[in-house]
Amino acid sequence: PSSFEMTSKRFPKLKNDLLLRAARGEKTERAPVWIMRQAGRYLPEYRKVRAQHDFFEICRTPELATEVTLQPINRFDGLLDAAIIFSDILIVPQALGLEVEMVPGHGPQIPHPLVTPKDLDRLTEKVDVHKELQYLFDAITMTRHALNGRVPLIGFVGGPWTLMSYMVEGSSTKQWAKVKTWIFKYPEASHDLLQKITDVCVDLLVGQARAGAQMLQVFDSWSGELSPRDFEEFALYYLTQIADRVKSELGVDAVPMTVFAKNSWYALEALSTSGYDVVSLDWTQSPTYARSVTKGRVTMQGNLDPNVLLAGQDVVVEETETMVKEFYSGDKSTRYIANLGHGIMQNVPVENVEAFLKTVHRVSRQIVKG
Ligand code: CP3
């Protein structure tokens, strides 16, 4: 840990712990709510910062990362129950030695992706996250202080399968032919790569918790591209390992952990027994189905289709109300964190975000009150 981290450990007292209580399965007076990608381009104040700075420059500058992380917390004052640190899942491939650029309009680009197993030699042998990614830990510590206890701070990494997909495909593919070729043609090298990524993810999550993150989420955004059998072998095995290792390394300082394996509906039961406290759902599974499969073992998070926020405010209110009611289904003690089923889109009107947040507050409070 850096001297900055070491001298900054006395954090302000947390005033809103709804998220943490919901994650641990404790009663809450209403559903906590936050939004995946809540700091981003739908906010004019984000676009302003972004116009002056490169994406990864913001990630690497703790003052800027702190400023941007706080933007939605300030704008929707009292309506958001969590902050998520401004960063990206692709800092892990960077730490492993691959160049990653964020190209406006095209998303992330890796100019020299891994083509064959020989390319594994190009990766850094043993990544020291405190050397490569200390800026993230510093950003977390700084943000935790700047939040002044208003809401808990979430740290995150990408799931190993999703990160491997980027490292082999080189961008946000719609095909997955290259990375699928790897798992079918080079299964051993694929496992070597996934294990290498997993080791960095574990260190990065442990480091984020030690730097001040009060909850951790693993985003396996492309896991739904795998067959159920391949999901188990190439995604779930590593997701489970991450939860086990992070929790045992943190010991008494362990924080709640969330897994988001997008479109892997078939894996819901397995995910609910994989060592995570919260399973984040996309919109392809109904709350009723998710409740029946997870049976209160974990807290459910989600799952409004992000496209709903592109409709009129009346539709946002109606769809959000229906979602919240279905998650509770008359059971006030349901373990639930409201969110979208995937990241918010850049053309969403800010008023619709406010309508979503307010509806979650109103409806869930009503249900819990009875
Ligand atoms: O949630 C937050 O507010 C925290 C920040 C955050 C970002 N990316 C910032 C970001 C988080 C949690 C992520 C995670 C992430 N990044 C995922 C997993 C979640 C998901 O959405 O599936 C993935 C797959 C990535 C990789 C990535 N980064 C993509 C595909 C893109 C392009 C997206 C697009 O719409 O263009 C990014 C860029 C990115 N990451 C932006 C932000 C705010 C926009 C980039 C910009 O400002 O130019």
With the most atoms of ligand 1 within 8 angstroms of its CB, the residue from 58, 73, 88 to mutate is 88
Are the CB atoms for 281 and 288 separated by under 8 Å?
Answer: no
Residue 235 has pLDDT above 80, yes or no: yes
Stronger pLDDT, 246 or 1, i.e. the higher one: 246
Residue 2 has pLDDT above 90, yes or no: no
Residue 4 has pLDDT above 70, yes or no: no
Task: Tell me how far the alpha carbon of residue 88 lies from the centroid of ligand 1, in angstroms.
Answer: 6
The verdict on the CB of residue 370 being under 6 Å from ligand 1 is: no
Q: Residue 45 — very low, low, confident or very high, per pLDDT cuts 50/70/90?
A: very high
The verdict on the CB of residue 55 being under 6 Å from ligand 1 is: yes
Q: What is the pLDDT of residues 265-293, one digit of tens each?
A: 999 999 999 999 999 999 999 999 999 99
Residue range 84-112: average pLDDT? 96
In whole angstroms, give the CA distance from residue 130 to residue 203. Answer: 9
CATH fold, domain 3-26+39-298, is TIM Barrel (3.20.20)
Residue 7 has pLDDT above 70, yes or no: no
Report the DSSP beta bridge partners of residue 340: 304
In whole angstroms, give the CA distance from residue 125 to residue 85. Answer: 27
Are the CB atoms for 323 and 297 separated by under 8 Å?
Answer: no
Closest ligand 1 atom to 106 CA: 36
Q: What percent of the chain has pLDDT over 90?
A: 94
CA-nearest residue for atom 32, ligand 1, is 107
Structure tokens at 14: 């947390």
The verdict on the CB of residue 154 being under 6 Å from ligand 1 is: no
Closest ligand 1 atom to 37 CA: 1
The verdict on the CB of residue 107 being under 6 Å from ligand 1 is: yes
- Length of the chain (residues): 370
Stronger pLDDT, 3 or 279, i.e. the higher one: 279
Residue with tokens 């892990």: 92
CA dihedral (166, 170, 172, 176) positive or negative: negative
Domain ranges of the chain: 3-26+39-298
Provide the 8-state DSSP code for 260: E
In whole angstroms, give the CA distance from residue 290 to residue 128. Answer: 38
So which residues are the catalytic ones? 37, 41, 50, 88, 166
Q: What is the pLDDT of residues 150-202, one digit of tens each?
A: 999 999 999 999 999 999 999 988 889 999 999 999 999 999 999 999 999 99
Residue 156 has a pLDDT of 98
Residue 63 has pLDDT above 80, yes or no: yes
CA-nearest residue for atom 47, ligand 1, is 55
CA-nearest residue for atom 38, ligand 1, is 107
With the most atoms of ligand 1 within 8 angstroms of its CB, the residue from 64, 66, 67, 102 to mutate is 102
Task: Tell me how far the alpha carbon of residue 37 lies from the centroid of ligand 1, in angstroms.
Answer: 7
Residue 5 has a pLDDT of 52
CA-nearest residue for atom 25, ligand 1, is 89
The verdict on the CB of residue 53 being under 6 Å from ligand 1 is: no
Q: What percent of the chain has pLDDT over 70?
A: 98
Are the CB atoms for 307 and 345 separated by under 8 Å?
Answer: yes
Residue 53 has pLDDT above 60, yes or no: yes
Q: Residue 365 — very low, low, confident or very high, per pLDDT cuts 50/70/90?
A: very high
